[in-house]
Amino acid sequence: MVTGGARGIGLATALTLSEQGSNIVLTDLDAAALERAAATLGEGRCDGRLRCELPRGCPRCGKRRRRYFRVPGRYVNNAGFTRDAKMRMMTESDFDDVISVHLKGAWLGTRAAADTMRKLGTQGSIINVSSLSGKIGTARQTHHSAAKAGIARLTKAAAAGIRVNAIQPGIIRTEMVGSLRPDVPEKKRSEIPLTRFGEPEEVASVVLFLASGISNYMTGIILEITGGPHA
Ligand SMILES: NC(=O)c1ccc[n+]([C@@H]2O[C@H](COP(=O)([O-])OP(=O)(O)OC[C@H]3O[C@@H](n4cnc5c(N)ncnc54)[C@H](O)[C@@H]3O)[C@@H](O)[C@H]2O)c1
C-alpha cells in the first residue's frame, strides 16, 4: 500500500514494487490522477470497494468480488504536500494541515499497518517518507521540516517487533518541487555533491530495498537519498 501514490515518488514506488511482482493498493486525494496511475499500473485492478472490475475476474486471483488485498505486507507512508512560506507569514491552519497530513498521517498509518501485521503474524515492512528538510531544516518550510523530523523519530520509536524504516530524500524532480519559488532550485542544485536533483525512480529503488527481504535485519534506520551529504 502506497499513500499519495497517484504521482511523483509514490507512483514511481508503486511501479517499481509492481514490476517486482507486488500487488499494489494506492490511496490519493486526487481522484483523476489516481485513475491515471491505476491505468499505468495495468491489469488486475480493483476499485475502492475492493471489487474486481474485470469481466472475467482478476488474472491474478482468478475470482470476482473477492477481497483482493487482505493484508498490506508493505506499507509506504508517502502522502504529503507543502505550502511554503516564511515563518512569520505562515498561517496557523497551514501549519496544522502540514503537520496533520505528514506527521499524524504517518503515525496513524504506521500504527494501523503494524497492528495488522502483528495480529496476522506477517513479516511486514513499513517505510515512512521523511525528508532532508527534517534533518537540516529548510527555510520557508518550518511546518514541513518539523513534521519530517518527527517522522524520523517516530520511525525509530516504532521500530520494535516490526520493521519500520524511513527515507530522507533531498530534492527530487516531482510536481512538489515545481511549486518552489523559481530562483530556489538553481541555488539548491549547486549545493548538491552530485550536482543534480534526484529522480522519483531513484527514491523508489531505495524503498524497494527496504520493502524487500534483502533488508530483513534492518529496522529503525533512516536512509538519505540526497545526491551526497548535506551537513
Ligand atoms: N519531491 C521532493 O523533493 C521531496 C523531498 C523530500 C521528501 N518528499 C516527500 O515525498 C512525498 C511525496 O512527495 P512528491 O514529491 O512525490 O509530491 P507530489 O506532490 O508529486 O505527490 C504527492 C501526492 O500525495 C497526494 N496527497 C497529498 N495529500 C494527501 C492526503 N492527505 N492523502 C492522500 N494523498 C495525498 C497528492 O495528491 C499527490 O498525488 C511527500 O511526503 C514529500 O514530503 C519529497
Residue pair 171/197 in contact (Cβ under 8 Å)? The answer is yes
Please list the alpha-helical segments (H only) found in 42-91.
none
Would you say residue 28 has pLDDT above 50?
yes
Show the domains of the chain with their CATH numbers. Answer: 7-24+71-225 (3.40.50.720), 26-68 (no CATH)
Q: Whose CA is nearest to atom 8 of ligand 1?
A: 131
What does the pLDDT average to over 94-119? 95
User: What separation in angstroms does the CA of 70 have from each of 11, 122, 123?
Assistant: 21, 11, 14
Dihedral sign for Cα atoms in the order 99, 101, 173, 175: negative
User: Which of 62-71, 121-130, 138-147, 204-213 has the weakest average pLDDT?
Assistant: 62-71
> What tens digit of pLDDT does each residue of 60-104 get?
555 544 444 555 689 999 999 999 999 999 999 999 999 999 999
Q: Which residues line ligand 1 (CB under 6 A)?
A: 3-4, 6-10, 27-30, 33, 78-81, 101, 129, 131, 169, 171-172, 174-177
Considering the entire predicted model, what is its pTM? 0.91
Q: Ligand 1 mean position to 198 CA, how many Å?
A: 15
Give the list of residues 6+ apart from residue 32 with CB closer than 8 angstroms, or none: none
Q: Whose CA is nearest to atom 28 of ligand 1?
A: 80
Q: Whose CA is nearest to atom 2 of ligand 1?
A: 172
pLDDT recorded at residue 229: 87
Q: Ligand 1 mean position to 4 CA, how many Å?
A: 6
- In the chain, how long is the greatest CA-to-CA distance? 58
CB atoms inside a 10 Å sphere around CB 191? 13
Q: Ligand 1 mean position to 93 CA, how many Å?
A: 19
Does an H or E element contain 129, and which? Answer: strand 125-129
With 0-12 CB in 10 A as exposed, 13-18 as middle and 19+ as buried, what is 214?
exposed
CA 83 to chain centre: 18
Confidence band, pLDDT 50/70/90 cuts, at residue 23: confident
Residue pair 24/5 in contact (Cβ under 8 Å)? The answer is yes
Q: Ligand 1 mean position to 138 CA, how many Å?
A: 16
Ligand 1 atom closest to the Cα of residue 11 is 16
Q: Ligand 1 mean position to 79 CA, how many Å?
A: 5
